[in-house]
A and B are shown apart, each in its own frame.
Chain A
Amino acid sequence: ETGVTQSPTHLIKTRGQQVTLRCSSQSGHNTVSWYQQALGQGPQFIFQYYREEENGRGNFPPRFSGLQFPNYSSELNVNALELDDSALYLCASSLGGLDSGEQYFGPGTRLTVT
């Protein structure tokens, strides 16, 4: 186990609704990255938070937003849900810095949009 936890494990929402997913990073890690993994695909980078600031973003629309808290836990918010948002959402924590390559992934939240 990596020490990274995510909640909830599964979630079903209706198109147009909003959702908040949560991630607790591994102790001592100050960077959280979020990924979307569609079925049969590799994870796609959404954005990253480093010391409570957004520190990079992938090709996702503004309705995907996030927060990082002083304890380095993080939230991913998705507004106006679309059917294509159905996926496994992964968060990964790391220590940050130029020499940090290893990220520790949580088990993910499975989001289904109907």
Chain B
Amino acid sequence: GESVGLHLPTLSVQEGDNSIINCAYSNSASDYFIWYKQESGKGPQFIIDIRSNMDKRQGQRVTVLLNKTVKHLSLQIAATQPGDSAVYFCADPHNQAGTALIFGKGTTLSVSS
């Protein structure tokens, strides 16, 4: 079956550094991806999404890159802050409404001051 997976379960960075979280997917027909952030004790929070007709999309301090050739996407966080510490998931909606999400296991980002 289709899957999405993150390359590293944990990532530790210093405050102010840039963070890069990677994700691979298996379904070449996937055309829409979403990144979520989950803080301890909370539900996942939407960060940014990207459709397959784009290679790059930028938000506030975040950038998502999509490489359809190798079925890989990454989330880049600029000037990482302690408040960015959380578990990050990439998700692939497997229905057209984009509401039945397939999540990977997540990468835990730890930011030290």
Cα–Cα, bound, A67→B6 (Å):
33
A76 shortest CB reach to chain B, Å: 14
Q: How far is the CA of A98 from the CA of B96 in the complex (A)?
A: 6
Q: Nearest chain A CB to B81's CB is how many angstroms away? A: 20
Assess whether B49 is in contact with A42, with CB atoms less than 8 Å apart: no
B97 in contact with A31 (CB, 8 Å): yes
Q: Is A14 an interface residue (CB 8 A)?
A: no
- A102 partner residues in chain B, CB cutoff 8 A: 34, 46, 49, 98
Partner of B98, one of A45, A101, A106: A101
Give the A interface residue count (CB, 8 A).
32
Considering the complex, give the chain A residue whose CB is closest to the CB of B36: A105
> Is the interface on chain B under 10, 10 to 19, 20 to 34, or 35 or more residues?
20 to 34
Contact B102 A45 (CB under 8 A): yes
**A100 pairs with B100, CB closer than 8 A:** no
Residues of B within 8 A of A (CB): 32, 34, 41-46, 49, 89, 91, 93, 95-106
* Residue interface bits A82-114, CB-to-B below 8 A is 1, else 0: 000000001010101111111111111000000
Q: Which residues of the partner chain A approach B89 to less than 8 Å between Cβ atoms?
A: 42-43
Residue of B nearest to A31 (CB): B99
What is the distance, in angstroms, from A108's C-beta to the closest C-beta of chain B?
5
A8 at interface by CB-CB < 8 Å: no
Contact check, B104 vs A94: say whether CB atoms are below 8 A apart. no
**Cβ-closest chain A residue relative to B108:** A40
A-B pairs, 10 with minimum CB distance: A105-B43, A42-B103, A101-B98, A56-B100, A105-B44, A45-B100, A43-B103, A102-B46, A94-B99, A90-B43
Closest chain-B Cβ to A72's Cβ sits at a distance in Å of: 13
